[in-house]
Structure 1
Amino acid sequence: MAFELTEDLIEQIENFIEVGDNTSILALLEEVHHADIAEILDEISTEEATYLIKLLDSEKTSEALMELDEDYREEILDNLSPQEIADELNELDTDDAVDFLSELDEDIQRQVIDAIEDEEHARDIIEMLRYDEDSAGGLMAKELVRVRETWTVAGCVRKMRAQAQNVTRVHSVYVVDKNDHLIGRLSLKDLLTAEAKSNISDIYIPNVDSVNVHDTAEDVARIMQKYDLEAVPVVNDAGVLLGRITVDDILDFIRDEADEDYRMAAGISQVVEADDNLLKLTRARLPWLLIGMFGGLGAASIITGFNSIFETFPKLLVFVPLIQATAGNVGVQSSAIVVQGLANDSLKGNIAGRLLKECALAIINGLAIATVVLVISHFFFETTYLESVSIGVAIIAVIILAALIGTFIPIVLDKRGIDPAVATGPFITTSNDVFGILTYFLIAKLILGF
């Protein structure tokens, strides 16, 4: 039966906590999945959540804590002693344990590591803390199953049983030489069908895709996607097997990157939630709004500089919103396609070729839109022939300019090591508003001669 989080259940748990009825709590939550425990923790106070974490078995609560929002998890960890945090880490794979520790102050980190009972687990965590969190080393887990090429099949099975006890899910079996260099992988089918006295060297598969410990998370994601891998081994510069990255780890990274790109495109500079306080929400959203405000003031200044046009051709002012909207939309479309291409490594060719293609597309779109606008402006807004022509030509020019800006800026930012997602949304819209208005009036002045 599927778990259902109800107000009655939350109220029942809160009442048990209030009176200290631990027996009833343990009986109520004994068969509840750790993901459902996380939902419960989300609905109660930090103090009550801490109470449950201390009461329940660490094997369940450690996984539940991993499901929580980072900020909320940090609040709970602040209420736990270093020993209690170490008890949680003892139940986690090294990659998840590192995620836990990275949220704590360095002095607390040292105390927690000292309190971890498994010395090998502690050493692995210390090693992984040295890597950048967005690198293969920062994503990998040390837990895996490795076998030596010199082992027999019978001996290999015994060794695998011992190793598998520390591995949550066995995706692959990796083959190493006597110096732990990765040399291949082992098919479970081949292992099960081979003679017990056969050597692993006779049945292992020498071809195995791997990533370097210093590769970026983006590179890892591309490799796993390209070769449809559930897990990929991680090696150092010498080819020594260090760990493995599973598909769920890389999916978490991709989701976080997508969330960040979405925020940047919307003009939100920090990680925020809907229920954050007003100060935090303001700090995240105000900077881009101010940039947009100055862009609007710039457009207003340009319009003021062409005041004389409105005395002779007042209907041109009616089409200013159309110019701004078209420029913004075209710019966002172009930048979104480029950013997506940069993210999935599908953007091919040089900048000049990309700009030329975007320019050709802009001309086609511009001609189509300009034709419609020219007819509507002349027959419905009763503009003169020259006014209609100037509006149509201006739209074509604005679309071409917006497309070039939307294509060029993300590529340049990417080449300079800046996240190209910053180029989408308010940044492109604001810049195209200003340049679009300027282009519109310059072309009108050239054609109408005012």
Structure 2
Amino acid sequence: MTPFKLTDELIAEIQQLIEAKKNADLQLLMKEFHYADIAEIADELTVDEATYLIKLLDSEKTSDIIAEMDEDIREAVLNNLSAKEIAGELKELDTDDAADIVGELPKEIVQEVISEIEDREHAKDIVDLLRYDEDSAGGLMAKELVRVNENWNVLTCVKEMRAQAENVTRVHSIYVVDDEDKLKGRLSLKDLLTTSTKTHIKNIYIPKVDYVGVNEKSEEVAKIMSKYDLEAIPVVDEIGRLVGRITIDDIVDVIREEADKDYQMAAGISQDVEADDSIWELTRARLPWLILGLFGGAAAAYIMGGFEEMFNKYTVLFLFTPLIAAMAGNVGVQSSAIIVQGLANDDLKGSVSNRLVKEIVLALLNGVILAVILLLFTWGWKGDFMTALAISISLIAVIVVAGFVGTFTPLFLHKRGVDPAIATGPFITTSNDIFGILIYFLIAKMILGI
């Protein structure tokens, strides 16, 4: 399969076909593309052109296109559709995707859209999903799944599965429930096919099954599915009843969104924004951390002002100030990045104290190696051994403290329920810059006897 590539020529061709209303040619052209590719095309069209395209194509395909579109474009396109047209798109989608779209609609038309959905069971399932937090297992799950009762025999089970499978896009697992719909286990397709039709399901199902509760955080669901290599996982309510399932494609979206958020936070962006967002939105996301950096720089300048006498006598100390600040920031970010990654992947082992000791020893080892290099360089350059020694010992102390701060801060934030990714950004860099400069001048002052 040749990878799809969006080009200016293709967009121009589609726009010309829309403008000329050559519907047959447009439908023929779109037939070649996957719905995800058409969604990418729609994101590059104007809202009116994207709406025209959606109305032209068959709803069996456009429902998936709408689900894949950029949120802002999707919202604008849906505003151009009637409640009945939106309902027609929703009926083709799995309940989780349909609920996501309904959740983005203006409140005043949600009820109207729901009432236009002909399949009342489908509508009921969508409404049921809307009551869950979007970052929970309940907000991620779909209602479509295959469930069988433990009291059925194999023959009845196969008949029921055929009926249920019509509404399920992909059958990952067969779940077994009791008469109260409580999850009991899972059923092996091999066992089902190789067992007598009169055998009861309770005699062949596998009682061991991984599951999550409806209120489980989406990040925790991602960790469980990743750890156990699951393509799907059942979801149970507060009393253990099977209410839905989460599939791997939903978890991939969660992982990607979490990675994007952590990356932006590490870069000093406090909100979830994209390059195409307005200048005001981008400013609000970036400015808080820039202000923090400004205050941090002012604090560092104030600290340096207290050592003005040293500058007059040992000008060389001033020359190495950027190096000390940079090393402090770099070491802090390295240490915090490792800890944040470990916390995110849930593979951070051992006690906090052991982790801190390990990072301090590591920082000390790196600091000594770097300090020896710096000592030789400075001594050879300036010919003043004591000054070179003061700068080098300061570097060791700064690196050790930065390693400690970079390790302790994300662990502390995690314990307090704050996203530790914040510790890999300007917060840790600025704090280590301040600590680094203060330590640098204090140690230099002691060694040089000023």
Query: Could you say what secondary structure the match of 2:404 adopts?
Result: helix
Question: 1:430 — aligned with what?
Answer: 430
Measured after TM superposition, the shift of residue 199 of structure 1 is 1.8
> TM-score, normalization: structure 1?
0.96
Q: Where does residue 352 of structure 2 map in the other structure?
A: 351
Measured after TM superposition, the shift of residue 411 of structure 1 is 1.3
Between the aligned partners of 2:75 and 2:357, the Cα distance in structure 1 is 50
Shift of 1:64: 1.1
Q: Which amino acid aligns with 1:385?
A: F
Cα deviations by residue, 1:360-418 (Å, 9 ceiling, x for unpaired): 11111111111111111111233x22211211111111011111111111111111111
CA displacement, residues 326-379 of structure 1 (integer Å, 9 cap, x when unaligned): 000000001111111111111233332222221111111111111111111111
2:412: which partner in 1? 412
- 1:123 correspondence with 2:124: yes
Indicate the residue corresponding to 1:330 in structure 2.
331
Q: Deviations over 1:22-61 (max 9, x none)?
A: 2332233234321121122122111100111112111111
Deviation readout 1:207-233 (Å, 9 max, x if unpaired): 111111111112211211221111111
What secondary structure, in the 3-state scheme, does the structure 2 residue paired with 1:229 have? Answer: coil
SS at match of 2:324: helix
Cα distance in 2 for residues equivalent to 1:105 and 1:446: 66
Gaps of at least 5 residues in structure 2 are none
SS in structure 2 at match of 1:244: strand
| Residue of structure 1 equivalent to 2:48 | 47
2:371 is equivalent to residue 373 of structure 1: no
Could you say which residue in structure 2 is the equivalent of 1:67? Answer: 68
Aligned match of 1:110: 111
Deviation of residue 174 (structure 1)?
0.5
In the alignment, which residue of structure 2 is the partner of 1:208?
Answer: 209
Corresponding letter in the other structure for 1:89 = L
| Paired amino acid for 2:168 | V
Q: What residue in structure 1 maps to residue 134 of structure 2?
A: 133
Deviation of 1:8 (Å): 3.7
- Relative to structure 1, the CA distance from residue 10 to residue 135 in structure 2 (aligned partners, 3 Å threshold; closer, same or farther) is same
Which position in structure 2 is the counterpart of 1:22? Answer: 23
Root-mean-square deviation (Å):
1.5
User: Which amino acid is the alignment partner of residue 338 of structure 2?
Assistant: I
Task: Pick which of 189-198 and 3-12 moved more.
Answer: 3-12
> What's the counterpart of residue 250 of structure 1?
251
SS in 2 for 1:331: helix
Rounded Cα–Cα distance in structure 1 between residues aligned with 2:382 and 2:116? 78
**Deviation string, structure 1 residues 305-327 (Cα, Å, up to 9, x no partner):** 11110111111111111101100
Q: Which residue of 2 aligns with 1:274?
A: 275
Q: Which amino acid aligns with 1:431?
A: S
> Aligned equivalents of 1:241 and 1:211: distance in 2?
10
Q: Secondary structure at the match of 1:92?
A: coil
Letter in 2 for 1:411: L
How many residues get paired? 449
Tell me the equivalent position of 1:386.
386
The one-letter code of the counterpart of 2:153 is: T
Alignment partner of 1:102: what SS?
Answer: helix
Please tell me the residue identity of whatever aligns with 1:94. Answer: T
CA distance in 2, matches of 1:441, 1:4: 56
The structure-2 alpha-carbon separation of the partners of 1:410 and 1:49, relative to structure 1 and needing over 3 Å to count, comes to same
Query: Could you say which residue in structure 1 is the equivalent of 2:200?
Result: 199
Partner of 1:143: 144
The aligned counterpart of 2:291 is 290
Greater shift in the superposed pair: 7-16 or 384-393: 7-16
What's the counterpart of residue 79 of structure 2?
A: 78
Partner of 2:172: 171
1:150 Cα offset (Å) = 1.5
- In structure 1, what residue type is equivalent to 2:446? L
Distance 1:300 1:5 in 2: 50
How far is the alpha carbon of 1:115 from its aligned partner? Answer: 1.7
Q: Distance in 2 between matches of 1:419 and 1:111?
A: 39
Structure 1 runs of 4+ aligned residues shifted over 4 Å read none
More displaced stretch, 80-89 vs 319-328: 80-89
Change over 3 Å in CA distance of 1:289–1:230 after alignment to 2: same
Report the counterpart of residue 221 of structure 2 in structure 1. Answer: 220
Q: Which amino acid aligns with 1:159?
A: E
What is the CA distance between 1:11 and its match in structure 2?
Answer: 2.5
Q: CA deviation at 1:4?
A: 4.9
> 1:308 aligns to what?
309
Tell which deviates more after alignment, 16-25 or 139-148. 16-25
Could you report, residue by residue, the CA deviation over 1:138-189 in whole angstroms, capped at 9, with x for unpaired residues? 1111100001111121211111111111111100000111111111111111
Measure how far apart 1:283 and its partner are: 2.2
Structure 2 length-normalised TM: 0.96
In 2, the alpha carbon distance for the partners of 1:428 and 1:360 equals 20
Once the two structures are superposed, residues 234-259 of structure 1 have per-residue CA deviations (whole angstroms, 9 ceiling, x without a partner) of 11222110111111111110110000
Show the counterpart of 1:259: 260
